[in-house]
Structure 1
Amino acid sequence: MKTYRKSIDIDAPISEVWQVLTEDLPRDPDPFGILRIDGTLAAGSRIKLWSEIEPKRTFALTVTDFQPPHTMVWRGGMPLRLFTGTRKFSLSTAGGTTRFDMEEVFSGLLSGLIVKSMPDLTSSFEKFANALKEKAEHHG
């Protein structure tokens, strides 16, 4: 299993951060390192995502968990769970700020082989978190 994580404190109310994450992101994904998102971010919905990391590839994902304003989970991968990527977005309050945590776990029988051929997502996670912070702190 390979895991990427990023956490950041955002000086904005949790409701503002959630709005940027779930409403602004699909409308203006570029600052987040995402070229395009098709579909609605809601429980059980299917979305398609194009990323700067692999611009010619479409990622077909399902929103497997959606609990406003705290949790959203996207999952995609191969049939029979031979390879699965699960990205979890979590928001919590910490004093007067919002704590944003993002984690992606790659698992499955073929994950060891597939992860070796993937680019490192560390900079992508940094860009996403910093864009969320910037947009939420200057939202409205």
Structure 2
Amino acid sequence: MTPSPDGTATTLSKTFSRTTQVATTINASPASVWHVLTTAADYPRWNSTVVSLDGEIKPGSTIRLVSTLDPGRTFKLKVKEFEPSRRLAWGDALGTRVYTLAETNGGQTLFEMNERIGGPVFPLFASKIPSFEASFEQFAVDLKAAAETAS
């Protein structure tokens, strides 16, 4: 399932997992978008879906994220993939969020974000997890604005 780059999030739910994704085209280079995505201290400034993000976004590090979806909970997430200006992934035992950047022929960046959550016990708590679609759409809007302003 490849997302359309129109900024509309979609979700595919299965018995043992749920995957939400969004894509948008950003009028900035992948390097500029990467800089915004990997500067942890700036997240609360540009990203209205994040309450706080502590730690450094670098290979193998652990960050502590508080989201507006569940502001009473701090997610401890390990940076699992780190390919500058191309791919970033972080997550925990239940899920992984992947960000991919690809330069278009016009010098823009195609940004895609997807998150898969799940596992053997997923059906037991799936109904308690809010939809990510509105949050993903807002993340894409906020990232686009921040990267286009910075470049």
Query: Please, what TM-score do these two structures have when normalized by structure 1?
Result: 0.90
SS in 1 for 2:150: coil
CA contact (8 A) 2:46 2:146 kept: no
Within-5 A mapping of 1:4-23: 4-23=20-39
User: Aligned-pair RMSD on alpha carbons?
Assistant: 1.2
Q: What's the CA shift string for 1:93-113, capped at 9, x where partnerless? A: 111210000000012111122
Residue in structure 2 matched with residue 29 of structure 1 by the alignment: 44
Match of 1:64 among 80, 84, 106: 80
Residue in structure 2 matched with residue 74 of structure 1 by the alignment: 90
CA contact (8 A) 1:37 1:48 kept: yes
2:29 equivalent to 1:2: no
**Alignment-mate amino acid for residue 52 of structure 2:** R
Cα distance in 1 between the residues matched to 2:23 and 2:57: 21
**Alignment-mate amino acid for residue 37 of structure 2:** L
Cα distance in 2 between the residues matched to 1:65 and 1:45: 10
Cα deviation, residue 30, structure 1: 4.6
**Alignment-mate amino acid for residue 68 of structure 2:** E
Cα distance in 1 between the residues matched to 2:119 and 2:97: 15
Cα deviation, residue 27, structure 1: 2.1
Identity among equivalent positions (%) equals: 35
SS in 2 for 1:119: coil
Cα distance in 1 between the residues matched to 2:59 and 2:119: 23
- Tell me the number of residue pairs that the alignment of Structure 1 and Structure 2 aligns: 133
CA contact (8 A) 1:61 1:76 kept: yes
Cα distance in 2 between the residues matched to 1:127 and 1:31: 11
Q: What's the CA shift string for 1:65-113, capped at 9, x where partnerless? A: 1010111101113xxxxxx111000000111210000000012111122
**Alignment-mate amino acid for residue 27 of structure 1:** D
2:104 equivalent to 1:89: no
Q: Gaps spanning 5+ residues in structure 1: where?
A: 78-83
Query: Please, what TM-score do these two structures have when normalized by structure 2?
Result: 0.84
